[in-house]
Chain A
Amino acid sequence: MTAGTVSKEPLPQGVGNFTGKWMIVTGIALLGVIVGIVGFLVEKNQGMVATGMRDLGTMQGATWGVYISLVVYFVGVSFAGITVAALIRLFNLEHLKGVARMAELLTVVALILGAMAIVVDLGQPLRGIVNLFRYARPQSPFFGTFTLVISGYLFASLVYLYLTSRRDAATLAKRPSKLRSFFRLWAAGYENTLDQRERDRRTSFWLALALLPLLVVAHSSLGFVFGLQVGRPGWFGTLQAPAFVVLAGVSGIGHIIVMAAIIRRVVRAKRRIGMDAFAWLGRFLLILLLGYLYFVVVEMLTLIYQPSIAEQGLSEALLTGTYAAVFWGSVVALVLPVFALAWMAITRSWKLSWLVAVGVLVNIGAIGKRYLIVVPSQTHGQLLPYGVGSYTPSWVEFAVAFGFFSLGVLMVAVFMKIFPIIELKDETIEVELDTEEVMT
């Protein structure tokens, strides 16, 4: 919208319009959050004994379970969000601009959930948070993970999301609505001048450039949390860090595809998020999947070629034992999408329903793989003479996990009602609204 234009049209993309369907979705998500809070309160009152986690060795359990698997998963999802957003702005990928903001939002939401998943895993959450900022050792990969990933990376992503959305806030602040003051505050004096646009472009470019190496370091250090533990067969290895980064990309791109498909339908923005955007995401996902499957094969071959006793026990548990169902299920969930994506890429006929199925499947596979990275090495990877352990998550852990996913849905749903989830076009809002009307 040009400066000074005042319109009585409703806000675009259903912003500020609380429909019945939205209320139902939000209500269900809120119920899910309450279930999660109840689970956490039970854990807080009864202690960690309410979960399925037990000490390693003497209690033959696992100290890291569903929560840490979710930390790794959520932080992974965040990776692709900001990567895609940064690539779009760095290389000015016009056909992908429709997914840029939702990718940035996905990063912020996933990082918040990741941070919360760490907190619920601690027996004394407050003590853990305070001591991390007080005593953490820079040499430890935990330092890189929890300072860079959670605080630095989250803050940087928030800054990125804020700055890239100021122009839209300024545009919407010119319209009479209940959210006008909020948009004015968000815009913080933004004026759509040539100078400002040039500054935007420069800031976006440098922020994207600063974020990309930061997030590779952050995700690699999360891989190092496992990969540097020399006394833990199954974890110790050079492939952990790169495999973490690649699987992070796989789950995140899958998420963006599903999210974009839902949002384009909800806000009726088929033209803003065209099939060429999905095709680009599909091709990117295919490359990442092939890379990750290569890592899996190399890792498994190394594990079973000439294993020590502990590694042999671990590989048996993965391939034919306790974790075989999760392992092969995850492999199938990651291999099937390769065929589907390759077929669509070769025939150049991208189908949205297939892509959504692929996005869901790769995320199921990614959660399974994260679980397999975290748990089996604790129960079956003992070098000390303890018996084989076991881990079964309790209802409390499932309730909290359900609460996390519900909170994610809730945050996205609320954001969609207070701000356009798809970047507004550079021209006037009226033109964009007309276009949307024609499509509808």
Chain B
Amino acid sequence: MSRRSVITTLMIVVGLLLMVLAYFVGGAPWCADAVECSNPRLEWSPAIFVLGVVVAFSSAIYYEVAKDKKE
């Protein structure tokens, strides 16, 4: 596996991980209580989710633009 493929895969994994963590761990809990369930457990978790999307899709740019050492 080339360095390009490894880093691209890593970026996708990190992006997805950020999205999952921000959504299920950092976000407000899935419950009905209006007070307890309103705010996210971790402030800025929506921003972390967006960051995950950005990292995941940036992997495509890296894959295309980066040069392999072999080349």
Chain A window 129-144, contacts with chain B (Cβ cutoff 8 Å), 1 for yes, 0 for no: 0001111111100010
Residues of B with C-beta under 8 A to A139:
27-28, 30, 37
Q: Are B61 and A151 in contact (CB under 8 A)?
A: no
Contact call A156/B43, Cβ cutoff below 8 A = no
Closest to A214 in B: B53
> A147 to B23, alpha carbons, bound, how many Å?
11
State whether A134 and B44 are in contact (beta carbons under 8 Å apart), knowing that A139-B30, A203-B63 are contacts in the complex.
Answer: yes
* Contact present for B65 and A137 (CB under 8 Å): no
Report the separation of the CA atoms of residues A153 and B47 in the bound assembly, to the nearest whole angstrom.
Answer: 14
The smallest beta-carbon distance between A136 and chain B, in angstroms, is: 4
Task: Give the shortest distance, in Å, between A170 (CB) and chain B (any CB).
Answer: 12
Stretch at the interface among A159-167, A329-337, A382-390: A159-167
Interface: B64 (CB within 8 A): yes
Pair count A-B, CB < 8 A: 73
In the bound complex, how far is the Cα of B40 from the Cα of A134, in angstroms? Answer: 8
User: Please, which residues of chain A bring their CB within 8 A of the CB of B43?
Assistant: 134-135
Chain B residues whose CB sits within 8 angstroms of the CB of A188 once the complex forms: 65
Give B61's nearest chain A residue, CB to CB.
A159
A207 adjacent to B60 (CB under 8 Å): yes
CB-defined contacts of A207 to chain B, threshold 8 Å: 57, 60
Q: Is the CB of B28 within 8 A of A206?
A: no
- Asked if B69 is an interface residue, CB under 8 A from chain A, the answer is no
Whether B27 lies near A134 (C-beta < 8 A) is: no
Residues of chain B within 8 A of A200, CB atoms compared: 64
Is A283 close to B, CB under 8 A?
no
Chain A positions within 8 Å of B23 at CB level: 138
- Decide if B10 is an interface residue (CB 8 Å cutoff): no
Which B residues contact A (CB, under 8 angstroms)?
A: 23-24, 27-28, 30, 37-40, 43-44, 46-47, 49-50, 53-54, 57-58, 60-61, 63-65, 67, 71
23 CB-based A-B contacts, threshold 8 Å: A133-B44, A133-B47, A133-B50, A134-B43, A134-B47, A137-B38, A138-B23, A138-B46, A139-B28, A143-B46, A147-B50, A147-B53, A152-B53, A152-B57, A155-B57, A159-B58, A159-B60, A162-B61, A163-B60, A188-B65, A199-B63, A203-B63, A207-B60
A residues whose Cβ falls under 8 Å from a Cβ of B? 132-139, 143, 147-148, 151-152, 155-156, 159, 162-163, 166, 188-189, 195, 199-200, 203, 206-207, 210
